[in-house]
Amino acid sequence: MPHDIFILTEAELRKSVRLDMNAVRVVEQAFAALGTGKVIMPPILSMAIPEAHGEVDVKTAYIPGFEGFAIKVSPGFFDNPKLGLPSLNGLMILFSAKTGLVEALLLDNGYLTDVRTAAAGAVAAKHLAPREVGTAGVMGTGVQARLQIEAAHLVRPFRRVLVWGRDTSKAEACARDIAERLGIEARAEADPARLVAESQLVVTTTPAEEPVLKAEWLHPGLHITAMGSDQEKKNEVAPGALIKADLYVADRVSQCERLGELRAAIAAGLWKGGTPPELGEIVNGRPGRTSEEQITICDLTGTGAQDTAIATFALGEAKKAGAGKVIQS
């Protein structure tokens, strides 16, 4: 018996889903579900293709109560810009949780991943950053640098942004884009230590394999969201910072032990703190930041639960808008 399958393009998804509080709430709900321990989320399937300087990640999760579950395929081929092609692309496939039938193909080219990743940063800031943030800093100059700041501004409306990057011209361009987008002061900062010193909220968004944020730069009243370390070789935050912080929170402990900043702290023999709390537990009421003077760090490696949540949301919004093409299988 044939059934309908919705096909949605990146352009249609961009019109249906935006980085706003609705997206943040959807991702927050995904973390809340993770915090119950009832989500079925297998380890990330990751495959390197060294001959092409490429990698492919596959993520998925089943969230009880959701009508569907998503499988996301996310290739990154980092020589593509030399060919005039984007380095990141991909798609999400949404299946019925009742029948296993394909419900939708979301040909988003990584757009939904960008939105859900930035929204996760907003969830981290909402639950762990100081109540008052005057200055936010971002280390990195790419798409996520811009989106992470935009998302954090939704929950902590700061007045100033500092941007650091290895390429000064890219940092200046990023700052200009942020200032134009948010209508606030934003400028490039050449000294990463000064950026941290002047900020109450710092987001790291780099592919660094050597730390770009040092432990000695941490200061009372600082929150750090580290979201660039999602592969075994990556490391943005000095391992000693996790020990110096009053509270370290993982998005998923098992992933952070293998891919995140926690991996580097364990490898350095520094982590003696046992099993850290997960962001979903904090969302569900476990104590997070308990004073404005605390130093907090949140380690985001990206979860399949976020993908299922944003894909389900995107399909619903697109159907409301009458977007997409329907084919019969």
Q: Could you read off the pLDDT of 247-270 as tens digits, one per residue?
A: 999 999 999 999 999 999 999 999
Cite the residue boundaries of each domain of the chain with CATH code 3.30.1780.10: 4-113+305-328
Q: Which CATH number does 4-113+305-328 carry? A: 3.30.1780.10
Helix (H, G, I), strand (E, B) or coil at 215: helix
DSSP code of residue 237: B
Provide the pLDDT for residue 223: 98
Provide the pLDDT for residue 273: 79
Provide the pLDDT for residue 100: 95
Cite the residue boundaries of each domain of the chain with CATH code 3.40.50.720: 130-302
If one counts every other C-beta atom within 10 angstroms of the C-beta of residue 1, the result is: 4
Q: Note the pLDDT tens digit of each residue in 43-84.
A: 999 888 989 988 899 999 999 999 999 999 999 887 888 898
Question: Tens digit of pLDDT per residue, the chain (329 long)?
Answer: 778 999 999 999 999 999 999 999 999 999 999 999 999 999 999 888 989 988 899 999 999 999 999 999 999 887 888 898 888 889 999 999 999 999 999 999 999 999 999 999 999 999 999 999 999 999 999 889 999 999 999 999 999 999 999 999 999 999 999 999 999 999 999 999 999 999 999 999 988 788 999 999 999 999 999 998 777 778 899 999 999 999 999 999 999 999 999 999 999 999 987 899 999 999 999 999 999 999 999 999 999 999 999 999 999 999 999 999 999 87
Provide the pLDDT for residue 78: 79
Q: Are strands 54-61 and 68-77 parallel, antiparallel or unpaired?
A: antiparallel
Q: Are strands 201-204 and 223-226 parallel, antiparallel or unpaired?
A: parallel
Phi, psi of 90 (to 5 degrees): 130, -175
- DSSP assignment of 127-144 equals HHS-S--SEEEEE--SHH
**Which residues 6+ apart lie within 8 Å of 163 measured at CB?**
137, 138, 141, 145, 171, 172, 174, 175, 178, 186, 187, 188, 189, 195
Q: What is the C-alpha separation between 40 and 303, in angstroms, rounded? A: 11
Instruction: Quote the longest CA-to-CA distance of the chain.
Output: 64
DSSP code of residue 212: S
Q: Note the pLDDT tens digit of each residue in 132-145.
A: 999 999 999 988 99
- Specify the CATH class of 130-302 in words: alpha beta
